[in-house]
Structure 1
């Protein structure tokens, strides 16, 4: 029997014990029908399509758990494209039917995950509360009178209610974190640009981030690692520049008395103080810091020219369909008309001046620990004062993307009545995503708040955060070990993680090696060749697993240094030149995946 919350460790154990993805799909179908919240989904993947997706997975990769997310059900916020399902951004008149998956969705599907539906949101991702949708307002899984948080409302509730193992949200002002706090979940907000936004309806294009809701930090980190990686089609996409943090005694910045604001919610303040004490018990040094410059930067997002970015995203649609907007969303977006180009530059100057002030505070600390939201409200309270009360939710979240931060939101416990949950956030400078995860995982465990609506659930030991990339040995793979390919399990089983998808530099050729089982390519460097590079994946293995892996590589393949398109040099699969003398040159296909797809369009 499956647990209430479908965390990755429990689901993998069930698959190892004989559960089939088809069984899992039938359970998801039953849970969707039994749900008491009709506003979670805007479009559900049809039952027969779910069954077909499970069958396709079994045909493609029949061995259980042989992909990182083999048979894992996930939900997608309905401003992120999924081929075959409409994208509405919670505005029926805006709906369109994408022909391709968003980059994030495509990468997760390749890792074995199954989309169960498109989830509700504050219209055009404008809001932190979850009530601004013509499809209804998803509710807190703990009390239907209370908001779920937004804008990624349905995504959070789907995981917290046990309908999905994880879900995708987006975060401009805190939309991937506030709903996590209100539903007792982990919210992973990557550094802006780390995860591509290709196939995402923008809110504020320059600071939007695709996020993950999950039961544990380990689960969310696994998903984030699969999603991330440079995509040139996104003008804001960036390659990671990993930043380290102290592992033994981190300096954690906490709010002092002047900047503390909980809007009268003493329960959330008490939970924040308890989290500080728990951080001390884990060896952290607690350092009060000045939140003022961070707060002042946060105010620019809605009370400055960045609101004009929201208008830029939908200006043509607004001109023809103003009546189709939620009234509050329309008021916010039309407020952008008060700003001109001069105001935009002045806002940028103000942000950079505040960034300089925050650098003084970052010198004092390694990362910050803040309340995810200082309070919560009922649906009726929110509807009575939708802009002011929504602003309360963003007091400690709005700055993070403007100031180029990574963040992880974790459950912090329940109020004095054991009624509603609250959360805390760990926030670090750009590209501290990996470095934040182990401490966030440790905090989630010592705070002992459960997972989603199962507040008594023990976090599985198997879901602990896997070693960060810097503790692993990287290797470039080019063929049968790629994600979704027959030998990928040789990387995933010993604890490997995918770091990125990229290309070699232009001096490499790719050949289809005859007579290999399963079929394999051979990568050969030709210094005189000037191509476009070959698509590869960079994985990382624990040192002992790397040694075993290399030892088992069959001739004529071997391991040597491969130069990537960014100039870096990493160990990876190369082929002896003599073995490609009679092999077909398939470089023109761009990589092994392109060649396989061309040879078998159904693949």
Structure 2
């Protein structure tokens, strides 16, 4: 047993709040690997062989016959599980108080909740370098935000949930809590991989999905004030200022996201929890609030489920449009940080408000990373970066930029900036994809560019450099070396390929127009980009 593991076991037994349900006195030895000898904690809805998986319900006493796939993969990478952590019972909650083993509190305040349901896993970061949680509706991101940690919620299916006690099987995710993005990377890499015996498992594509940029430079934010507690509103304003220093910011309508979030517990979707563990709600150790919430699923019909699925599909389609012109979406993790007394006074209402910005991420098939963003009234404040499914790698790089950590280099072939018909979703974009192109980044032009409509075989714009304001929307595509030559015959005058300066100080090859195109009657610079012009006309 390594010195680090011995130290972690000693500290786990001395934690001054109920973070651990079980400490593994006979922790297994570690092995060589990228996580060699590293101790970690496991949320107690994830199986560890020989230990009961209580899910914070003392009625569950049968030891697990085998470990969850996630635990096995971490052990194969050399890590050592040292204990099972407390949680909102059956992973149903965002407060961390729905446990007969005791309520966890924020590490910075004994009066404030730790956040749930992975409450004990967050507190355990004072003992171990990383902990496993789960995140169906925000259960990894909320405690991360309340305790100043990084909470990674990967794309659904990337990490096997075999051996995880189901809460909502179609939405459940195994997540990580770490102190830094850098620490999260090797853990997520060890966890990720297809599992043929998990019906919800999905492999990571060998190439990024269409529309996902390898380098994220454009981040969407809400186009209106959010309903936040006063201290959170001030912290959110500071977070927006920080974002503007590391990315280009675009305002978007987040109402479809928030509407989807309300469906998780406010519709027939709650019936999935009843189907998953409703047979365990009658024991003496069941938390009454958990029983009340899950039992509500019994009042819905099969028709209700299909009705809400149609509504969710509608909202998903609208929400997806956000990621046509932006790489990621920034939101607070929660609207505020409640006290233990607030939860005791209104256990359901207080908990429900905490899911305002987190409930929808799995419903909409997105990935997310919660990152520290300063403080609010002296307590940790966190925000979350959200992106489409399988954008996990670039999103971690964006999270690293947020925290000031090193980003991984992006391999490049040849870069080409496009501003009109070759943009994602526009008619000529298929030519870039056919030639093996991938989206490198969304960007803006440097100052000095103006945009005009130009004649040609289809509607298209021309960028002319002169004395313009710049900041015009472009996409930078990564192409094989031979692809540019294949494009040339299809470029109709007055457009041609030439150097195009970007707002980050780099210059790439791009579609530009002759100065003779600078006709004031055809100028569309004020729209800020071709998509916005098309939308206006």
Q: Find the aligned partners of 2:407 and 2:43 in 1 and give their Cα distance.
A: 25
Question: In structure 1, what is the equivalent of residue 85 of structure 2?
Answer: 119
Shift of 1:246: 4.1
* Counterparts in 2 of 1:98 and 1:136: CA distance versus 1, 3 Å: same
Shift of 1:95: 3.2
Shift of 1:127: 0.3
1:506-525 matches, cutoff 5 A: none
1:37-186 matches, cutoff 5 A: 37=17, 39-46=18-25, 49-50=26-27, 53-54=28-29, 57=30, 61=31, 66-159=32-125, 161=126, 163-186=127-150
Size of the aligned set, in residue pairs, is: 410
1:270 and 2:234 are equivalent in the alignment: yes
Question: In structure 2, what is the equivalent of residue 487 of structure 1?
Answer: none
Question: In structure 2, what is the equivalent of residue 425 of structure 1?
Answer: 384
Query: Of 24, 29, 39, which aligns to 2:9?
Result: 29
Would the aligned equivalents of 1:249 and 1:285 in 2 still touch at CA under 8 Å? no
Shift of 1:364: 2.9
Shift of 1:190: 0.4
Question: In structure 2, what is the equivalent of residue 299 of structure 1?
Answer: 262
Question: In structure 1, what is the equivalent of residue 353 of structure 2?
Answer: 392
1:300-343 CA-partner distances (Å, limit 9, x unpaired) = 1101111101001112223xx25432011001000001111000
1:468-500 CA-partner distances (Å, limit 9, x unpaired) = 7x789xxxxxxxxxxxxxxxxxxxxxxxxxxxx
Question: In structure 1, what is the equivalent of residue 299 of structure 2?
Answer: 338
Would the aligned equivalents of 2:13 and 2:23 in 1 still touch at CA under 8 Å? no
Query: Of 316, 324, 327, which aligns to 2:285?
Result: 324
* Counterparts in 2 of 1:131 and 1:219: CA distance versus 1, 3 Å: same
Instruction: Return the index of the structure with the highest Cα Rg.
Output: 2
* Counterparts in 2 of 1:466 and 1:359: CA distance versus 1, 3 Å: closer
SS across alignment from 1:92: coil
Q: Find the aligned partners of 1:410 and 1:380 in 2 and give their Cα distance.
A: 26
SS across alignment from 2:249: strand
Shift of 1:96: 2.4
1:560-592 CA-partner distances (Å, limit 9, x unpaired) = xxxxxxxxxxxxxxxxxxxxxxxxxxxxxxxxx
Q: Find the aligned partners of 2:273 and 2:214 in 1 and give their Cα distance.
A: 39
Q: Find the aligned partners of 2:340 and 2:412 in 1 and give their Cα distance.
A: 46
Would the aligned equivalents of 1:167 and 1:212 in 2 still touch at CA under 8 Å? yes
Would the aligned equivalents of 1:217 and 1:465 in 2 still touch at CA under 8 Å? no
TM superposition score normalised by structure 1? 0.66
Q: Find the aligned partners of 2:139 and 2:13 in 1 and give their Cα distance.
A: 27
Shift of 1:248: 6.0
Question: In structure 2, what is the equivalent of residue 590 of structure 1?
Answer: none
Would the aligned equivalents of 1:127 and 1:150 in 2 still touch at CA under 8 Å? yes
SS across alignment from 2:264: helix
Would the aligned equivalents of 1:168 and 1:213 in 2 still touch at CA under 8 Å? yes
Q: Find the aligned partners of 2:389 and 2:283 in 1 and give their Cα distance.
A: 37
SS across alignment from 2:372: strand
Shift of 1:421: 0.6
1:28-65 CA-partner distances (Å, limit 9, x unpaired) = 2332243221x10111111xx13xx23xx3xxx5xxxx
Would the aligned equivalents of 2:136 and 2:168 in 1 still touch at CA under 8 Å? yes
Runs of at least 5 residues in structure 1 that lack an aligned partner in the other structure: 1-20, 446-460, 473-603
1:111-165 CA-partner distances (Å, limit 9, x unpaired) = 0101010000000000000000000011110011110000000001101x2x111
Question: In structure 1, what is the equivalent of residue 271 of structure 2?
Answer: 308
1:443 and 2:381 are equivalent in the alignment: no
Q: Find the aligned partners of 2:215 and 2:390 in 1 and give their Cα distance.
A: 19
SS across alignment from 2:398: helix
Q: Find the aligned partners of 1:404 and 1:360 in 2 and give their Cα distance.
A: 14
Q: Find the aligned partners of 1:139 and 1:207 in 2 and give their Cα distance.
A: 26
* Counterparts in 2 of 1:68 and 1:249: CA distance versus 1, 3 Å: closer
1:177-205 CA-partner distances (Å, limit 9, x unpaired) = 00000000000000011111000001100
1:417-475 CA-partner distances (Å, limit 9, x unpaired) = 4x211101000011000010111011122xxxxxxxxxxxxxxx6xx45457x789xxx
Question: In structure 2, what is the equivalent of residue 477 of structure 1?
Answer: none
Would the aligned equivalents of 2:100 and 2:285 in 1 still touch at CA under 8 Å? no
Shift of 1:359: 2.3
Q: Find the aligned partners of 1:116 and 1:465 in 2 and give their Cα distance.
A: 31
Q: CA RMSD in A?
A: 1.8
Question: In structure 2, what is the equivalent of residue 596 of structure 1?
Answer: none
Would the aligned equivalents of 2:157 and 2:173 in 1 still touch at CA under 8 Å? yes
Would the aligned equivalents of 2:212 and 2:388 in 1 still touch at CA under 8 Å? no
Q: Find the aligned partners of 1:27 and 1:286 in 2 and give their Cα distance.
A: 45
1:337-356 matches, cutoff 5 A: 337-356=298-317
SS across alignment from 1:211: strand
